[in-house]
Amino acid sequence: MSNPLQTIMSPASIAITGASSNFRKMGTIQMMNLVHSGYTGEIMPIHPREKEIMGLKVYASIPELPHAPDLAILVVPTHLVPGMLEDFGMIGTRHAVVITAGFKETGRDGHALEEEILAIARRHGIRFLGPNCLGIVNTHLPLNITVGPILTYGGRLSIASQSGTYIAQTVGYLQRHGIAFGKAISVGNEADIDIADCIEYLGEDEETRAIGLYIEGIRNASKFLDVTRRVSAKKPIVAQYVGGTEAGARSGSSHTGAMAGPDFIYDGLFAQAGIVRVDTIEEVYKFGWALASQPPLKGRRIAVLTNSGGPGSGIATTLDALGLEVPEFSPEIQEKVCAFLPGHASARNPVDLTFHMGMENMAKNIPEVLFEAPDIDGVIIHGIMDTGFMEIMYPYVEKMIPVSKEDFLKANETPYLDSLLKMPFDTGKPLMISSFFGREDHCVRVFQDHGIPCLDSPEKAARAMGVLYRYSRIRARGEAPNVQRAPAPLAAQRIMDTQQGPVIDEFTAKEVLRAYGIPTPGEVLAKSLEEAKAAARDIGWPVAVKACSAAIAHKTEAGLVFLDVRDDEGLEKACQAILDAGGDILVARMVSGRRELMAGVSTYPGFPPCVMFGLGGIFAEALHDFTIRLAPLCMDDALDMIGSIKAADVLGAYRGMEEVDREALAAILVRLGDLALDFPCIKEIDLNPIIIAGGKPAAADALMIVRR
């Protein structure tokens, strides 16, 4: 089945309701932009009283239209939307954009009204964007039904946004920064078409090279993950998520009715999906534009060229922090660079010309050397400028030289940019420009107009290159494999079918884990001291002795965990304390290891089970070093989780300890995800600690909580 956005973004005919001769009305503004965007298809305004709008014939009602339009635009009072959508369905229209607000974002009554229009749409087979959105832009058709005019056409960055402002009211900002959209989609409340549908469409769109997202909440996380994993394997996606705090979630809910989630879930979701997460909408635009306009980064080695030591140091420091390298040039490269340097300048990398107004070396000679260097993968240049600086200087210059400002600026335009513009594409190596000037500077204008990202600080240029590096690592993962899941083990099914209370005791929880092949220490459940002694003899000293009861979830805090018990005397003391507390006795093989990890499952509304991995033991909560992915997991997901915690280095051969078997550890995470999906009644699983002994992991403790 084709994506409905293929028609919505390229309709042959459009009917618009809500436009009039009053240019202050939102519908009129949107129709003005539609008419003046250059759209060549048929436009059919609908208004009960107007006869003509902007030279176009107006139809009094939907049934009077000469034929069913490809696309219907509704910008009318909320109460009129259901009837109009019904009328469009009756005449055969199958695609719509509902601009009108006042639906589920307003509360219970609005939610009911949104359900009503969704039912109407489904009855007629209508697919629609919105409600409560600001429309769409396709600069390649061209087509624009937002409140902001198109100022730049033919861009390769496309965006889908849960805020209409970010596609409609930022046009001047984008133009000033040389950024051109290709497609832009405001999704609004996502009653029908959601942001995952937009990503799927843009992923297949040949005119889109990179995708930007503004997200307040994901309604179907499993669908979103499935789509983005496929798309990000071939096309970069950069996203801002803003619902991870209490205030952000509250704002998103009132804005579009979005269902937000904790920030760490979205960190895990984006990492699993192959999405580059950024902090601001500025970074969505600028870093997205860098991804869309430059060749992919094939390595980590970056050359830095500046006319000042400070920016060079700032770029180098930022690159280093992002995992990129600023390698010292080979003697051969330094020799070539030195031919263009004054005696005091450095050719090592960064190349620092210090104060330098002659642009031939910065814009042509030295870049030619750097781009041709085989051990360089990308280039950042700070300080190429001309008329921006000269305009500042002109009031002083005119006192010395009788020259008009226009002639003075024209005479100082740098003539060496043409070759630099071609270098990234001829060599397949990305270029980032840093400048403190904007489009008032001739050099900046030329770079922006030819698709070279021009960032307004050295560190931003470095971070843009860092985003290209992050995506290169995502691209290297390839497409995610289809996760093949076996049926739930019968042994686990039998155990789960008999559970009654909300907490599953440790012994029973471990039986379920063992059914899934998750390693645990050998152990026996005893009801008396005599049974405990027999178990200890069978297992072999030393043993761990713990209370086992669904009513005692936190055994350590209750003082009912006894480790390294080596004889009958110690066993008797432990058993007596446990029996006095009303628990059964769990006798387990004593597992010792200097590294303790944790894994588990948590559930959140609107998300599949979330698998967690991190540092374990008694300091797990204090250290807060963990990561999350959504079930089901493939082995690559699990291995990526293991490598992404801050303390990942301790999993290697560390201070006399063997390297951790990461495959065995990853298998635990994969199976935890399967377990949680097989039994949706599970609310929480906590394996803490997972002890590493001889490099092998074993779940020394387990807690399961179920919902009934």
Same domain, 300 and 323: yes
Query: Distance between CA atoms of 582 and 527, rounded to whole angstroms?
Result: 10
Evaluate whether residue 444 is within a structural domain: yes
The token pair at 248 is 């952000």
Determine how β-strand 52-53 pairs with β-strand 237-241: unpaired
Same domain, 411 and 457: yes
Query: Distance between CA atoms of 239 and 279, rounded to whole angstroms?
Result: 8
Among residues 241, 275, 291, the one where a domain terminates is 291
Give 254's pLDDT tier (boundaries 50, 70, 90).
very low
689, 616 in Cβ contact below 8 A?
yes
Give 554's pLDDT tier (boundaries 50, 70, 90).
confident
Same domain, 605 and 573: no
- Residue, of 622 and 54, whose pLDDT is higher: 54
Evaluate whether residue 495 is within a structural domain: no
Q: What is the pLDDT of residue 479?
A: 83
Distance of CA 280 to the CA centre of its chain: 12
The token pair at 298 is 């094939």
Q: Closest Cα to residue 705, out of 505, 514, 519, 549? A: 505
Distance of CA 411 to the CA centre of its chain: 46
Determine how β-strand 42-46 pairs with β-strand 52-53: unpaired
The token pair at 312 is 């060079």
The token pair at 73 is 């635009």
219 CB-contact burial (10 Å; exposed 0-12 / middle 13-18 / buried 19+) = middle
Secondary structure (3-state) at 57: strand
Give 287's pLDDT tier (boundaries 50, 70, 90).
very high
Q: Closest Cα to residue 326, out of 460, 473, 462, 457? A: 462
**Does position 244 have pLDDT exceeding 90, yes or no?**
no
Per-residue pLDDT, averaged over 47-73, amounts to: 97
Evaluate whether residue 493 is within a structural domain: no
- pLDDT tens, position by position, 319-335: 999 999 999 999 999 99
Cα-Cα-Cα-Cα dihedral of 290, 296, 301, 306, to 10°? -30
Q: What DSSP character marks residue 484?
A: P
DSSP β-bridge partners for residue 14: 43, 71
**Amino acid identity of 244?**
G
Domain holding 557, by residue range, is 522-590
Evaluate whether residue 517 is within a structural domain: no
Ordered strands of the 454-455 beta sheet: 351-352, 302-306, 378-382, 431-434, 454-455
Same domain, 172 and 72: yes
**Does position 557 have pLDDT exceeding 90, yes or no?**
no
**Does position 249 have pLDDT exceeding 70, yes or no?**
no
Evaluate whether residue 433 is within a structural domain: yes
DSSP E strands, 141-300: 143-144, 157-161, 181-186, 210-215, 237-241, 276-278
Give 45's pLDDT tier (boundaries 50, 70, 90).
very high
Same domain, 580 and 615: no
Spell 427-443 as b/e; 16+ CB within 10 A means b: bebbbbbbbebebebbb
Same domain, 284 and 387: no
The token pair at 7 is 């028609």
Which residues are CB-contacts of 683 (< 8 A; sequence separation ≥ 6)?
A: 603, 705, 706, 707
Q: Residue 525: count other Cβ atoms within 10 Å of its Cβ.
A: 19
Helices (H), 73-220: 81-91, 108-124, 165-168, 171-176, 195-204
Evaluate whether residue 313 is within a structural domain: yes
Question: What is the reported pTM?
Answer: 0.92
Same domain, 363 and 472: yes
The token pair at 225 is 């993950």
Structural domain total, the chain = 4
Among residues 291, 313, 329, the one where a domain terminates is 291
Q: What is the CATH number of the domain that holds 129?
A: 3.40.50.261
Evaluate whether residue 115 is within a structural domain: yes
Q: What DSSP character marks residue 346?
A: B
Same domain, 365 and 447: yes
Same domain, 161 and 281: yes
